[in-house]
Amino acid sequence: MKSTADIQALIREVPDFPKPGILFRDITTLLQNADGLKATIDLMAAQAIDYQPDCIVGIESRGFIFGMPLAYQLGLSFIPVRKPGKLPAAVHQVSYDLEYGQDSLEVHQDALGAGHRPLIVDDLLATGGTAAAAATLIQQTGATIAGFSFLIELNDLNGRQKLPDGVPITTLLSY
């Protein structure tokens, strides 16, 4: 198993979840398949090499699922971006708007700085709000974003438009 078509075949489609009219792409069926998971990480790593990152930033929580093995595969460190109150030391924080309210993300102040080139990883690029907030947070540290890596992109939601100009974006699967 080495193609994106093979990986896509492992993603379950669940109609009307979490509400009527939504076709949910369930990655748990991919995660349960050892060959599919390995192929996913291998392909994401092959894409990431071109960006020359020096660390991987994973967005809580599904960005951890793909970010950690990607960091391991590339021999890089892993920096978690978390929801408020989860990190024990001094943090940078950014708040952002959701469809129905607001949320925040945090990263340790000593995790990144000028000269770092993190690759931001998450499972899904939809409306782009969370990824854009993570980018703002990383920029607060003084680091230069090497790129973004997503398993899935929902093209109709135009999430790319919210991400910083000139920063490369890769996705394995587009719907």
pLDDT tens-digit readout, 81-94: 999 999 999 999 99
Q: Say whether pLDDT at 98 is over 70.
A: yes
Peptide bond into 61 cis (omega under 30): yes
Task: Specify if 158 maps to a domain.
Answer: yes
Average pLDDT over residues 104-109: 98
CATH number of the domain residue 62 falls in: 3.40.50.2020
How many structural domains is the chain composed of? 1
Query: How many Cβ atoms from other residues are within 10 Å of residue 164's Cβ?
Result: 14
Task: Specify if 15 maps to a domain.
Answer: no
Task: Specify if 141 maps to a domain.
Answer: yes
Residue 118, both tokens: 């993190």
Task: Specify if 36 maps to a domain.
Answer: no
Task: Specify if 5 maps to a domain.
Answer: no
Q: Say whether pLDDT at 97 is over 70.
A: yes
Q: Say whether pLDDT at 173 is over 80.
A: yes
* Distance of alpha carbon 66 from alpha carbon 105, whole angstroms: 18
Instruction: Output DSSP code: residue 18.
Output: S
Task: Specify if 150 maps to a domain.
Answer: yes
**Strand, coil or helix: what is 147?**
strand
| Residue 94 bridge partners (DSSP) | 105
Task: Specify if 128 maps to a domain.
Answer: yes
| Residue range of the domain that includes 153 | 52-174
Q: What is the set of active-site residues? A: 62, 99
Task: Specify if 148 maps to a domain.
Answer: yes
Instruction: Output DSSP code: residue 48.
Output: H
Q: How confident is the model at residue 110 (pLDDT cuts 50, 70, 90)?
A: very high
Q: Say whether pLDDT at 99 is over 80.
A: no
In this prediction the pTM is: 0.96
Q: Say whether pLDDT at 69 is over 70.
A: yes
